[in-house]
Structure 1
């Protein structure tokens, strides 16, 4: 068994007075988090809960007397979690500098330097009002689960909410964690993490191995062990992204106050739209291939930086800003719910290797025609399909016992 955590976004229905109370408590909590963040930064991130209680608790309690003890204690957890997230991002994206050398194809070689929190020049700031709520201390369900009881400044109120997720919130095998009160698009939400146990998929139970190549022309090109290929066309998605890009450029050129306001609103709308696309796509893939499926993806961590510079200028934005990682995250947790799983394999040579004879030759791929033709055995196919076939092969190697399968050029 393994633990699965989903965040349920419960929409609240506060009265005007309750909405004002939410504004006040979330703003005070945000300010308190910024104070703790500055302290955490000045201490070089080497602090524990006891240090917080000694240095910050009474300071915050005196400054914000209407924030209850649990909320003040939660500020430390909120700040530490934010710094831990940034630390993970820094590790995943090392600082790259030119080594002063070139490879065989006369391209610059880069050195990767690992980064940690010491690379930060100033404390992390919390700009969005929010407040963390502990289960059964700061929030609880009442009146036969018809309302949520929430702490605000110096009092507790009962708020109506949408019951769309009651079957998940109150399932017998689930447990609720620390919730987050946020305001999004003019509405109040309580983001509640729900943890429950799911059965872990073992290699011996895998019935399907699906290789997935992600790209712009085709959002996903899938190839399974039966030799069947599934193409998910990305033309409409690409057109929509370029429409937003053009609109942003026009608004940036104006530079007026109203244009900047409109620019911010459009950016949020595009992000929500792209998130919805990835949600629907990941759900479709999981339902299409069913349970006991191993989804194999390329590890694109170090690929985007090197390849973006080699692309046409008018195509760089779409390539660098595409939400590949988000799609992987959505697919991972949806697959786990269906008793399947997702793994990453090395992306090296997956687009250059012939899946029939194993020949690796970069020149075999014609980018303009989206065609791969092997100069040894003559096998030819769509270049995205070739990549998905090679990724699927690495997944098969993983199932047979190779924990880190990859292709090596001889």
Structure 2
């Protein structure tokens, strides 16, 4: 089985190399916006081949991009439009089923690309050299730049790991370039026999993750120290954006990414702890796709209702799930998605399910049928573990995993 990880390499550029990379990035972004406008004007086109046939020559003439980059631009725009069309169709289905009244507006106007992130194709736009150097294509030709990075990732690159496409990312506050390289790592094929333990993971705001095993072991990963900091950065960003002065804009640039990096680092720490605590395990995660569409939202325009809805949309649970998934594969475990419905309302002892099992919607679970009492998040984790166990038993009996494995690389 192939697992994809992303190596973040810091590029140690000279002033001339920095200027060449920055100019190339901005030209690539401008070409993306040009093709996006063309696609929107011609029926919101998502076919990458037709886009390339129609815009390739103009990209080369107007933006002076090399041939491979000029081919990558229509592919990226086409992929973006396909994603937007999928969201439009899903939204139409949800509106028809009465799950939401909001119309998705992503294709009401041409998508605008703001980030100057540039995509490179391996052995065409960039190649690795000896002594930790990389050759990168720019508008002025190739430049050879030394790089540094995480020792294990550098070792994988030097030892012949399968290298894929990369992205040239610019950290504006630090004025620093990074190369984000995709690496494919070979991992052992999973079998029911290799996964000797079943673990359920319930995610939330007060406790970012709660784990439970079939042996009764449990772990709580609290967000008490982290979530208030993330909320502080969100409030600070909102005040500065509302102020809108030049000094406020400079401050926004200086603090940009702090909230995101705080959440990302926390998710890394929590996911690593979970995976290391449960080696060779089948880890069950909640299937939270379209959770905002499927859950009942508080309606109204007052501040309290808006704040309640915003609170439940704040933490990046999808990122936490993806980190658990790829780290699990590196430690001979595997993560799968299970049904998330009623995991915190169903009694793990007698199976009785109702809203009244959560008095006042608090953290205490009290079964109205058998009076079984436990922490609500732990009840959710145990229900997920039991659903994962059922899938594992079915896998052992049939040889097929009935739920698609969630194996996402970074």
Residue equivalent to 2:137: 151
For residues 47-85 of structure 1, the C-alpha deviation after alignment (integer angstroms, 9 at most, x for no partner) is 342x345322222222234x2212211212222333344
Structure 1 residues 198, 53: closer, same or farther in 2, change over 3 A? Answer: same
The alpha-carbon deviation at position 297 of structure 1 amounts to: 1.7
Aligned Cα root-mean-square deviation (Å): 2.8
Residue equivalent to 1:106: none
Residue equivalent to 1:6: 5
**What is the distance in 2 between the residues matched to 1:53 and 1:312?**
47
Q: Which moved more, 1:129-138 or 1:231-240?
A: 129-138
Structure 1 residues 380, 270: closer, same or farther in 2, change over 3 A? Answer: same
1:190 and 2:188 are equivalent in the alignment: no
The alpha-carbon deviation at position 325 of structure 1 amounts to: 1.0
**What is the distance in 2 between the residues matched to 1:256 and 1:44?**
36
1:356 and 2:368 are equivalent in the alignment: no
Residue equivalent to 1:408: none
1:136 to 114, 123, 142: 123
**Quick check: 1:68–1:154 contact (8 Å CA) kept in 2?**
no
For residues 272-330 of structure 1, the C-alpha deviation after alignment (integer angstroms, 9 at most, x for no partner) is 11111111111111111112x11112222343353442886544333112111111111
1:69 to 57, 67, 70: 67
Task: Extract unaligned runs of 5+ from structure 2.
Answer: 396-401, 405-410
Report which of the two has the higher share of strand: 1
- Listed as ranges, the matches of 1:253-264 within 5 Å are 254-263=243-252
Residue equivalent to 2:358: 365
**What is the distance in 2 between the residues matched to 1:397 and 1:145?**
51
- TM-score, normalised relative to structure 1: 0.85
1:40 and 2:42 are equivalent in the alignment: no
**What is the distance in 2 between the residues matched to 1:53 and 1:378?**
64
2:286 to 269, 279, 298: 298
2:382 to 389, 394, 401: 389
Structure 1 residues 183, 98: closer, same or farther in 2, change over 3 A? Answer: same
Q: Which moved more, 1:185-194 or 1:201-210?
A: 201-210
**Quick check: 1:135–1:177 contact (8 Å CA) kept in 2?**
yes
The alpha-carbon deviation at position 120 of structure 1 amounts to: 0.8
Structure 1 residues 251, 135: closer, same or farther in 2, change over 3 A? Answer: closer
**Quick check: 1:308–1:319 contact (8 Å CA) kept in 2?**
no
**What is the distance in 2 between the residues matched to 1:31 and 1:252?**
25
The alpha-carbon deviation at position 187 of structure 1 amounts to: 0.5
- TM-score, normalised relative to structure 2: 0.85
**What is the distance in 2 between the residues matched to 1:94 and 1:345?**
25
**What is the distance in 2 between the residues matched to 1:272 and 1:139?**
27
**What is the distance in 2 between the residues matched to 1:226 and 1:68?**
59
- Listed as ranges, the matches of 1:210-359 within 5 Å are 210-252=199-241, 254-263=243-252, 265-291=254-280, 293-305=281-293, 306-309=295-298, 314-359=307-352
Residue equivalent to 1:105: none
2:371 to 378, 390, 393: 378
Structure 1 residues 83, 199: closer, same or farther in 2, change over 3 A? Answer: farther
Residue equivalent to 1:209: 198
For residues 155-209 of structure 1, the C-alpha deviation after alignment (integer angstroms, 9 at most, x for no partner) is 222111115332121334x211122222114110111111232223123432111
Residue equivalent to 2:407: none
**What is the distance in 2 between the residues matched to 1:208 and 1:371?**
27
For residues 81-139 of structure 1, the C-alpha deviation after alignment (integer angstroms, 9 at most, x for no partner) is 3334445555676675497xxxxxxxxx6358997xx9611222221223322222221
Task: Extract unaligned runs of 5+ from structure 1.
Answer: 100-108, 406-410
Aligned length: 388
Structure 1 residues 268, 163: closer, same or farther in 2, change over 3 A? Answer: closer
Q: Which moved more, 1:336-345 or 1:396-405?
A: 396-405
Residue equivalent to 1:79: 77
The alpha-carbon deviation at position 211 of structure 1 amounts to: 0.9
**What is the distance in 1 between the residues matched to 2:7 and 2:270?**
20
**What is the distance in 2 between the residues matched to 1:125 and 1:313?**
28
SS of match in other structure, 1:177: strand
